[in-house]
Structure 1
Amino acid sequence: MEHVVLSFLLASAVILTAATVISGERVNETSATAELVWSKGKLESDLLSKPEPGNSDYLSAGADVDDHDDLDGGFSSLDGVLRWAIGHSDPAKLKESAEDVQRLSASELQKRQLEIKELIEKMNMPSDAQLMQIAIDDLNNSSSSLEDRQHLNKLGGLAIVIQELNHPDPDIRRLSAWVLGKACQNNPVVQKQILELGALTKLIKMVKSTSIEEAIKALYAVSALIRNNLSSQELFYAEAGDTMLQEILSNSSSDIRLHRKAVFLVADLVECQLENLARAESPFFRNRFFLKSVVDLTASTDLDLQEKALVAIKNLLQLKTTEALIFKDFCDLNGSLVRMRQQLLDLMASEDHRDYAVDLENLRREVELIFHEKLGKVMKVPTRRDISAPMQFL
């Protein structure tokens, strides 16, 4: 029955819209949020049963992440239906219907509009929050392809999520940032769409939020948006994104999750620079205070953070513009690597941390080798056996 009602609704909407456009009148417009439609293969019953804001399922979606051509409904207002209907109608038939309906009086047109509104209300069309939940479900679907995610921009979907970055509720802002990050991850098409809608500036500001969870999800979105994307990285630097990263890394009281994401992004940015040598290097990579903030992370007791810091240092050392003496004298990289070696040797004695410590020691020694080569000192190159068996020092 609902399919029949929806078909009649869409047909009526097309006629009404065409009539009002031709006659110079306009149907009352609502926010662009009426147009969020990106669900794939769902029945109307699915669209009508999604949770509202405040529901724990809605607000917790994406909390642990890190970190279509077939449109099947999902309109939250009359305007959304009208735009969808007129955009998916045969132009010739639409014109014919419009000419017929022109003969209706103003009162008859108004009556038809009220009938359509009543039908929408009876069908209880899903809200923006419900539609966002549908998007989250689709993004969490491991079988969703890159092409599926690109359809988020159909009918203004991405614009709606970006608009929610300004929501007064930090949980809604956090969720919106996660949706954007998930959608554009390793997807140049969606990265470009989101950039053109001006989301990067908002996300960089959100990273400075007093809400740690919001800041973490915003930084996740920023990383996904600029990864392997030279144009977005240029905008990132223009928006002082490098300063934002340095503030996080140099602040010892920053949440460790922010430290991890920030230094991971640094490593990624430098790797992208190494892959595009013809591109001018950012002065950010030569800033001695920034370099020291990265090296200081190796003193952390968190092994994951230490590993990410080592990868960043390894990449930074390979840049032509970074100076070995700054790493040696100002950053005390040599002393940091020696202290880290002792820490890892101690961890190797523990059965729980032995394997990870061995892998980390291999990476530490690789960084040490690159560092000494950059200094121009002679150092024996470790053999394969040396690198694979650091336990010989015990």
Structure 2
Amino acid sequence: MEKLLQWSIENSDPSNVLQQSTTQEKDNLDPEIIDHILGKSDAVRMREAVEAVLNPETSFDNKEIALDNLEMLVEQIDNAIDIENLNLWPQILSFLSLPEASLRTQALWVCGTAVQNNPKAQKAFSEKGGLTLILNILKDENEDMEVKSKALYALSGAIKHYPPGLAQLEKDGGYDVLLRLLETSNDIQLLRKIVFLFNTLLVQDPNTVSMRIKEKGLAKKMINILDKYGEQDEDLTDKVLRTLLAELQHSSQSLTEDEISELRKLFPVLKTKYEKCALSPIEWEELEKRIQQRKLV
């Protein structure tokens, strides 16, 4: 203990740094004691969190704590990049197959946080097969809905502002997966996230995404959602209308005449109900103008 106190005092004085680096006392200190004083590095804490989840003897509660701690650590961009440097992506991605839904949810949260606005982490995640795994989760009809919701969070982080990720999404059939969910899911929270993701991608790459939307009939599915849920959920209605407006702004011919006709029928009711709380007055006006300009022949 006397050695520990002496080392701490001497290292607090910058004038002693050079001298201290050559003393035997420092070399003889137990690394665990130094960790106790200075705290473990983030890299060590990340590795320990992963090891805790991998350890079959770790309790369920402690695995949840480990994943929660890991998610907080990878909020820092440098730590997220270090996942690849520490070769932790294979283990983290293996957590997406854990039998407990709550642990899969937390593992997806870790992935989504790590890749958000982080091209280096996005690249590593995609190259390790992360996007493919997420799409498999979203395709699984028996998967827990909360897991799917967090999978959308991870998917969004993996492809937003990252063109190779968007290209990988298309290669892996991601558009079809998302459109299938829009068509079959009754979970409003999930529908909101999918529509918002398409809206974001339209802003990011309007040419490519607009083309895919038209090819795959996204507008029709979103109009069906308005018909089914439009008067029930303000947030979902707002997101759908904004996405349709963004699509029409990119190309006035991106919706078919039948789609425009259906939207024109729904518009007055939705505007009356949400005019003060959804789109801005300018957006309402522009959307109305665009759908009225396309008169049926």
> Do both share a fold (TM > 0.5)?
yes
Alpha-carbon distance in structure 2 between the residues aligned to 1:46 and 1:201: 24
Deviation track 1:135-194 (CA, whole Å, cap 9, x = no partner) reads 223245xxx3x2332222221122221121122222222111110101111111111110
Alpha-carbon distance in structure 2 between the residues aligned to 1:323 and 1:48: 51
TM-aligned CA distance change 1:49 to 1:226, over 3 Å:
closer
Q: CA deviation at 1:342?
A: 2.1
Q: TM-score, normalised by structure 1?
A: 0.56
1:248 has 2:181 as partner: yes
Deviation track 1:316-374 (CA, whole Å, cap 9, x = no partner) reads 11333614524324xx11112112012226xx5xxxxxxx35x555533332233345x
Alpha-carbon distance in structure 1 between the residues aligned to 2:254 and 2:191: 22
Give the number of the structure whose alpha-carbon radius of gyration is greater: 1
2:162 corresponds, among 218, 225, 229, to: 229
1:239 has 2:167 as partner: no
Deviation track 1:236-256 (CA, whole Å, cap 9, x = no partner) reads 1121111111112122x5211
Find the counterpart in structure 2 of residue 102 from structure 1: none
Deviation track 1:230-275 (CA, whole Å, cap 9, x = no partner) reads 2111111121111111112122x5211110111011112222222x
Matches within 5 A, 1:1-394: 4-6=29-31, 39=42, 52-55=58-61, 58-59=63-64, 130=66, 132-139=67-74, 144=76, 146-209=77-140, 210-251=143-184, 253-274=185-206, 277=207, 280=208, 283-287=211-215, 289-298=217-226, 299-320=230-251, 322-329=254-261, 332-344=262-274, 356-357=277-278, 359=279, 362-373=282-293, 375=294
| Structure 2 counterpart of 1:266, one-letter code | F
| Structure 2 counterpart of 1:197, one-letter code | K
TM-aligned CA distance change 1:324 to 1:318, over 3 Å:
farther
- 5+ long unaligned stretches in structure 1: 9-36, 62-129, 349-355, 378-394
Say whether the 8 Å CA contact 1:153–1:193 is kept in structure 2. Answer: yes
Alpha-carbon distance in structure 2 between the residues aligned to 1:367 and 1:4: 70
Length, aligned pairs only = 254
TM-aligned CA distance change 1:167 to 1:48, over 3 Å:
closer
Say whether the 8 Å CA contact 2:71–2:109 is kept in structure 1. Answer: no
Alpha-carbon distance in structure 2 between the residues aligned to 1:283 and 1:174: 32
Say whether the 8 Å CA contact 1:288–1:326 is kept in structure 2. Answer: no
Higher relative contact order, structure no. (Cα contacts within 8 Å, ≥ 6 residues apart): 1
| Structure 2 counterpart of 1:290, one-letter code | L
| Structure 1 counterpart of 2:132, one-letter code | T
Find the counterpart in structure 1 of residue 9 from structure 2: none
Structure (1 or 2) with the greater helix fraction: 2
Alpha-carbon distance in structure 1 between the residues aligned to 2:196 and 2:41: 31
Say whether the 8 Å CA contact 1:328–1:334 is kept in structure 2. Answer: yes
Say whether the 8 Å CA contact 1:38–1:154 is kept in structure 2. Answer: no
Q: CA deviation at 1:214?
A: 0.7
| Structure 2 counterpart of 1:265, one-letter code | L
| Structure 2 counterpart of 1:226, one-letter code | I
RMSD: 3.6
Say whether the 8 Å CA contact 1:171–1:214 is kept in structure 2. Answer: yes
Deviation track 1:61-90 (CA, whole Å, cap 9, x = no partner) reads 7xxxxxxxxxxxxxxxxxxxxxxxxxxxxx
What SS is found at the alignment partner of 2:88?
helix
What SS is found at the alignment partner of 1:186?
coil
Q: CA deviation at 1:216?
A: 0.6
Report runs of 4+ in structure 1 exceeding 6 Å deviation: 45-51
TM-aligned CA distance change 1:46 to 1:266, over 3 Å:
closer
TM-aligned CA distance change 1:305 to 1:288, over 3 Å:
same
Alpha-carbon distance in structure 2 between the residues aligned to 1:48 and 1:161: 10
| Structure 1 counterpart of 2:42, one-letter code | S
Q: CA deviation at 1:304?
A: 1.1
